[in-house]
Amino acid sequence: MYTVHNKKGEPNDTMVCCFLIHTVCSVNALSAGSSRVLYSRVFGPEDNPETDPERRRLLQKERLLHLARRVRTAVGLCHDAAGSACVECVLGEEAVALGEAEFGVLRLSAGEPFPVERTVLWLGVQNLAFSLVCDVHENLLLAEGTLRNLARHCMEELRLLGPGSEILLKSDRIDALLHRYLPHGQLLFLNHRFTHLLDKELSAYGSK
Amino acid sequence: MYSTGTESLLKQAREIQDEELQKFYGRISKLLNTNRDFGNETIDSLQRLNLIVSATKYAKTLPSDLKKKLQMLLVSKAHPEQIQVLFSSVLRESLPLSIQDLSAGLAEDVKSSSYVAAVVLSQVACKDDVAPVCLHMLKCMEARQTDGQICKHTLPILTKLISYSPEILTEDQVNLVSRKLVDWLRYASIQQGATMSSGSFFSGPRTRQPVPVTEVDGAVAGDFFTVLCVGRSFGEDQWMNMYAFSMIRKWLLTYDTEGTSGGESAHLSPIQIMLSQVQDDRSEVDSSVVSMVSATSSSSRLLPPKERLREKAFEYCHRLIEQSDRKAIKRTDTELQKACIVEAVTIMDIICKEDPSYVYRAFPSVKALYGRISAELAYARVLIPIAQFYLNHSEMAAVDSEVVFRQLFSRFPSELFNEPALAYELVQFCRANIAVLKDGVSLYRQSFPNLFKFLAWNSPALISDYMELLPSLMSPNTAVEILHSLLDLPCLAATLDLQLRSATYQASERVLWDHGSKIASALEVFRQPSYRGLFLYILRPEAGSGDTIDRLNMLHEVLSEMAASPRVMQCAQVVPVLLHVFFNNVTEFADQKLTNQLTLVLLERSSLLYNINQFKIELFRVFSTHIRALCKLHPSLIVDQCRELLDFAGSTANIYSKEELYTNVVWLIGEYLSVAHDPRCSVELITSFFESLEAVLFEISQVRQSASPPSYPPHVLTTLMTTLAKLASRSQDLIPRLSLSLSKLCTFARSKPVLACYSEEDAEEIITRAHELTNLLKLPSVAQFVLAPPALGESARWHRDTNTSLPRAMRTITELLHKQSNFLPG
């Protein structure tokens, strides 16, 4: 039998378990402090005690909502503390918006909402947040770089600074993006040439 | 950004009626049946379907024919990627499950198998479900030579599988993968991958001369291929090299266990090494550019697969560390170098833990790395795994680790307190090593003022971690200073803010101070030499350097304008929580002397707090709770601190400014000032407390028509009365004096100003209490019994509760007395 845990008895997982994009502003239809999840991708198999498929899905989505609320609070607190006035960016100013983005890391204790302890990295851009939930032993430098890269692609390709709804209708582009940069939740050590080649593939995807 | 249009589209998708939805399903089925090339209409419909199935938390169930169609198309060949992505996404998000059908279909096409696997993995509910996928992936790996193509995502999928169910692989399969990993890690080509050069019209496709890959600084690659090698394009083996390195840590953590067959890899005999240098040279390295890693590589040909993988992974990390010394041309590669160092050092740490003989080989490399990067703040986060390496192995290698920890605990928190990721990682490092740091690294405890900087700056994100860390920072020597530091935490937040602004804006740029004149004036003060000492004290990096408590008021005044800043307020909110943690833990080691000191700090600091909304009120509540606990633990501190307590309880001003704490202190005096707790408790001492409190009672209950109504709650009065009665019962000469005071109080309670601000019940309560105490004191021996302090170790609850203990005992006595009313004069 192999060891599943390291010597201290901690789980040794080192992967990303989900990526989501959600609101960090108030949405009329939602209660205060809630967040609207616009895109989510859980890299299965996940640790889910339910056996019935419908209930499994429900639990998964509720965990994500819980997570989005946590991040929303964190982004809000961080924003307040920084005290800087938010500059509204428009389409084409993605680089400015990303440059002003708030970044933070949060520890999720076991049970809140995942069964084991996890780390969330978040990037708050304007009224949206991009969140990456990692296992505790993940390489956070690599995770942060990946998160920023994913956010930049999403901002540009889904025109998130514009008024449209591409994020809902063209979410397959995010799937294709994750397929390359975060396949099955695996963070990749990509140098600029690997990135360039993946970017090229991705732009071929987009142009079809 | 998020617009109302998006919200209403989402609403439509969520609220779509069943009838409409069925029609939509039908239309898509038709499109998929008739349309072979999937035009825009199909893509558009699939995108809408994708939105509908993923828009709510409740699952949508697809008609079985549509589901079957989607599955079939997903596993069959030659669809544009977008179609595959959409199929995969719709199947992942909807019911019924596709896992059984898809697991079988995985084999058909290499390109789509990652998308198929994504559906399967998302629906896995038990360990048996993953077996077919796993087998498929292993088969892919083995069959690679004949087929010539491998699913790029084989390794990420495998990693996901083994983290879900590590026992899924048999020993043989582990060996198979280990061998493959060695190949990919160590023997990827160092020529650039073939580019599709079509040549000119006449010459036709031409084969180019192989071009070697380069290092990130543009030099020709010095040794075997790694993720830090750059080329115009990459061959499959180079892609696999990248995937293999990305997952190798996980693999080693899962399967690199002790007790595997074979000898220890790092202990090869000289003959083996000589042999291997001949045999092992499978990589196509140009001998002129061999780096240190290959040149010193010990052979591993003869080793069992797992040990060989360990050896090769070690060499790979060694090479990465070497490569990270190169100055990257691209900024993104500089970032990658840092991430690679983190990974490499962590992997070396794992390997050294499994096989300590590697420690001697790893240390020179890690040490040189430390020497190279330790001075650069940009590499701060990279230092954390290095520190972990030192912590785990420096003892074995007899290497001094002091300097690493000094860097970690001294310089980083002072200069990089506002880096959220560094703060997080450093704090997690402390959490993970709490026991070792606490007892083995003296600098850790010593550095608490520095470590508090992260917390002060980013309190909401770090509070739960510091609740865990705080006890490990506490010791009898530092407890008092930690208490002060916790109380000064909001000041620290404000000061750090000033420090940062001061560094950002030079004096000449005053115009840029966007927060108006308020912060500008604080900034001005921050730069004045006369305040320097004060700020240096707040910003001190280590414990025990200076104590400026007498000038704290001055600091609070200077920082008063910043008390409303959100960062300071957020910080103030965590202080009560940490104080509870502090006091709950300090009792574990606090002796009489320390308890006395802490009580003194509480009394002193109650009038030396940063003036933040609600902060003081919250703190007085915490102080009250814990001063009671301290007294219970060491009741004689009442006598030890009698002078300070007398001063505190004798000052009427304290009633108004810190009512809760005052009431509790008065109650404590009544409860614990007794010979039962301390033989030094003389009649004189009791009398002086009595007189002091009597004076306060007199002062606050003077009936003057012109006087403003009392601005303190009635329980201050009743507590004072009861405490005086308790003291009088212990020195019975005082009884007549108290009786007189109590009768005056009845008049007071009926006076106009009192009735104007207290409710009738409150006034009645005061009068009843006065009557009860007067009556009780008429029977001094009974009074002595009723009002006696609780015996030590007594656990009856009412004795701990100010509001119920006395009335309850008294009601019992009153009932007794009423039955024999002839005892009472009336």
Least CA distance to A108: which residue of chain B? B464
C-alpha Rg value of chain A to the nearest Å: 17
Residues B156, A179: C-beta atoms closer than 8 Å: no
pLDDT tens digit string along B60-94?
Answer: 888 888 888 888 888 876 678 888 899 999 999 98
Domain span holding position A65: 10-206
Instruction: Look up the CATH number of the domain holding residue A129.
Output: 3.30.450.60
| Residue that has been written with the tokens 């008063």 in this structure | B560
Question: Which of the listed ranges B174-178, B262-266, B280-284, B422-426 does the model predict with the highest average pLDDT?
Answer: B422-426
A176 located within any domain? yes
CB distance B532 to B607 below 8 Å:
no
Kindly indicate whether the ipTM for this predicted assembly is greater than 0.85, answering yes or no. yes
Closest CA to A131 of A35, A31, A59: A35
| Cα–Cα distance, B161 to B128 (Å, whole number) | 11
Exposed e or buried b per residue across B589-600, where buried means at least 16 C-beta atoms within 10 angstroms of its C-beta: ebeeebbbbbbb
CB distance B590 to B482 below 8 Å:
no
Least CA distance to A29: which residue of chain B? B7
Higher pLDDT, A104 or B130: A104
- Nearest-CA distance from B8 to chain A in Å? 10
* Span B296-318, average pLDDT: 83
Least confident of A22-36, B89-103, B505-519, B769-783: B505-519
Which neighbouring-strand residues pair with A135? Answer: A118
Which neighbouring-strand residues pair with B212? Answer: B191
> What pLDDT, on the 0 to 100 scale, is given for residue B793?
45
Using CB atoms, pick whichever of B7, B122, B567 lies closest to residue A81: B567
pLDDT tens digit string along B160-176?
Answer: 888 888 888 888 899 99
CB distance A92 to A121 below 8 Å:
no
A134 located within any domain? yes
> What pLDDT, on the 0 to 100 scale, is given for residue B294?
67
Least confident of A186-200, B389-403, B459-473, B481-495: B389-403
Which neighbouring-strand residues pair with A41? Answer: A19
Closest CA to A35 of A61, A4, A12: A61
In the predicted structure, residue B285 carries a pLDDT above the cut 80: no
Peptide bond into B304 cis (omega under 30): no
The percent of residues above 90 in pLDDT, for chain B, comes to 40
> What pLDDT, on the 0 to 100 scale, is given for residue B134?
87
In the predicted structure, residue B366 carries a pLDDT above the cut 50: yes
Which residues of chain B neighbour A189 with C-beta distances below 8 Å? 227, 242, 245-246, 336, 339-340, 343
- The dihedral sign for the CA sequence B704, B708, B709, B712: negative
Residues A179, B163: C-beta atoms closer than 8 Å: no
- Nearest-CA distance from A87 to chain B in Å? 13
DSSP state, residue A108:
E
Residues A141, B249: C-beta atoms closer than 8 Å: no
Which residues of chain B neighbour A141 with C-beta distances below 8 Å? 335, 338-339, 342, 381-382, 421
| Cα–Cα distance, B113 to B108 (Å, whole number) | 8
Least CA distance to A156: which residue of chain B? B1
Q: How far is CA B728 from CA B102, B356, B433, B648, B724, in A?
A: 87, 73, 55, 20, 6
List, as one string, the DSSP characters of B701-739.
T---TTSPPP-S-HHHHHHHHHHHHHHHHHSGGGHHHHH
Phi then psi for B626, rounded to 5 degrees?
-85, -25
Residues A188, B1: C-beta atoms closer than 8 Å: no
The SS3 assignment for A104 reads strand
Exposed e or buried b per residue across B706-716, where buried means at least 16 C-beta atoms within 10 angstroms of its C-beta: eeeebeeebbb
- Nearest-CA distance from A32 to chain B in Å? 16
* Span B92-98, average pLDDT: 84
Which residues of chain B neighbour A12 with C-beta distances below 8 Å? 250, 253-254
- Token readout for B179 is 């061998």
Which residues of chain B neighbour A25 with C-beta distances below 8 Å? 2
A20 located within any domain? yes
Question: Residue by residue, what is the 3-state secondary structure of B1-56?
Answer: CCCHHHHHHHHHHHCCCHHHHHHHHHHHHHHHHHCCCCCHHHHHHHHHHHHHHHCC
Which residues of chain A neighbour B121 with C-beta distances below 8 Å? 43-45, 184
In the predicted structure, residue B449 carries a pLDDT above the cut 90: yes
Residues A190, B124: C-beta atoms closer than 8 Å: no
Q: How far is CA B441 from CA A65, B400, B433, B541, in A?
A: 41, 12, 10, 16
Q: Which helix (H) or strand (E) covers residue A20, if one does?
A: strand A16-23
Which residues of chain A neighbour B117 with C-beta distances below 8 Å? 184
A1 located within any domain? no
Which neighbouring-strand residues pair with A103? Answer: A123
Q: How many domains does chain A have?
A: 1
10-residue stretch averages of pLDDT, chain A, 208 residues long? 40 77 85 89 87 90 94 92 79 88 93 92 94 94 96 91 87 94 95 94 80
| Cα–Cα distance, B230 to B253 (Å, whole number) | 28
Residues A169, B3: C-beta atoms closer than 8 Å: no
Mean pLDDT value across chain B? 83
Using CB atoms, pick whichever of B10, B85, B155 lies closest to residue A168: B10
A4 located within any domain? no
> What pLDDT, on the 0 to 100 scale, is given for residue B284?
37
pLDDT tens digit string along B672-717?
Answer: 988 888 889 899 999 999 999 999 988 887 756 556 667 788 888 8
A2 located within any domain? no
- Nearest-CA distance from B549 to chain A in Å? 27
If phi > 0 it is left, if psi is from -120 to 50 it is alpha, else beta; for residue B343 that is alpha
C-alpha Rg value of chain B to the nearest Å: 38
The overall longest dimension of chain B from CA atoms, in Å, is 132
Confidence bin at B380 (pLDDT 50/70/90)? very high
- Token readout for B352 is 């050294």
A84 located within any domain? yes
Confidence bin at B548 (pLDDT 50/70/90)? low
> What pLDDT, on the 0 to 100 scale, is given for residue A138?
92
